[in-house]
Structure 1
């Protein structure tokens, strides 16, 4: 399991981004228009840091980790790649357990749903945004040229093909994504947070994923579902925002009209 072996490597120097010992230097993409990031995983990791009350400093960058992905962190002079590996390491370092109020069975259920979110629903969203969707919309969202978006679309489409999800038709992929969202909505029900009255670690991943659908996706089948049928998922996003991100307006660019101050 990832709790046992963490992929660590020695970092390079980051000018102006040093942190005191015990403080996380969080490397992530620049702030998004209507949510703190245009990617689910930076929101996941930063939400965790806030929930766990772990001191951190943001370093906004497009530089990827040694694994070629973002976010990643530097902690006490060591780079850690992959959002979940970061969480697992910090849980040990700070003796954090956001799942302490859950039973063993509930922890297993939460793990299974996290896998659904990150290994299934993620690919449906990636294909919808980068491959099937309006590339001009994405170019504006991520502040890159249309031609670069076309190239990224090709590369991500190949990644999705290698994963397996990209081998299906758009209709079949959307069916999978809809089933995933329906399952999440059904389990959430009328609960305040995904596992009950208090947030747990699964809420970091779920909020990161749903934030993209609610605030950053171009209109599509998933945004329509949250608006019409799966309103409890949309309301859940608002509760997470109010609970964990009271400074939300300072962490977004409001459609590029402001500079995020946090």
Structure 2
């Protein structure tokens, strides 16, 4: 059995992390038996091989721990033969890799880095989801020591945001990068049933997860609504949700 360790559910999604969502979707698409488990934040540095989410534990393989969404998928392919990309040509695989990098290295930071971490209002709205408060409306008090931990976590993400490069730009520039990337996804997919054609592939797990995380989150920012302006992307998300139930 695969145990997938993630952050927490939110926004109507099984996990608020697009990287965890990517693995969740891949496991769902490939019909691989798994259980999702919430990671204890206090022990993540020692539990997670890379000190971050996601990671899996394969209880059928000596409790092997595998970190990183891409490495997890590679492991599942090699260990359980779950590949969705056997029919892709070398050129198509190259395109899929390029779009996966666009999603993980650009869209993650332009959308989520800005809306959840850079924006003070977005961060305050995000905290109740991180803490699983019910309702997540900010009405539940946060103890000072926990608040200090959360603010330090936020600062570490913002440091990464700047270090990655996206965070060195001003917000209007970030929004333009975001829109160009969404335009690229919409233009490439066109009227395809799935991102690369009539069959679902690994890249769909990444594309769908990031689109849902950006479109469904309640945090409003300068890029809010842009995905919704792309009818092909909305139709794609509706098809994926209907087919896979996520």
Q: TM-score range by the shorter chain?
A: 0.7 to 0.9
Gaps of 5+ in 2: 133-141
Q: TM-score, normalised by structure 2?
A: 0.84
- 2:50 is aligned to 67
SS in 2 for 1:222: coil
Superposed CA offset, 1:101-124 (max 9, x none): 322211111111001101111111
User: 2:222 & 2:189 partners in 1: Cα distance?
Assistant: 20
Cα pair 1:138 1:149 within 8 Å, conserved:
no
User: 2:30 & 2:179 partners in 1: Cα distance?
Assistant: 31
User: 1:170 & 1:147 partners in 2: Cα distance?
Assistant: 26
1:244 aligns with 2:218: no
- Post-superposition offset of 1:153: 2.5
- 2:129 is aligned to 141
Pairwise CA RMSD of aligned residues? Answer: 1.8
User: 1:136 & 1:178 partners in 2: Cα distance?
Assistant: 25
Gaps of 5+ in 1: 1-22, 249-262
- Post-superposition offset of 1:137: 1.3
Cα pair 1:188 1:195 within 8 Å, conserved:
yes
More deviation, 185-194/121-130: 121-130
Superposed CA offset, 1:236-257 (max 9, x none): 1121111122xx4xxxxxxxxx
- Post-superposition offset of 1:93: 0.7
The ranges of structure 1 where at least 4 consecutive aligned residues each deviate by more than 6 angstroms after the TM superposition are none
Residue-pair matches, total = 223
More deviation, 142-151/88-97: 142-151
Q: Specify which of 18, 21, 28 is matched with residue 6 of structure 2.
A: 28
1:51-90 matched pairs, under 5 angstroms = 51-63=29-41, 64=44, 65-75=48-58, 76=61, 77-90=63-76
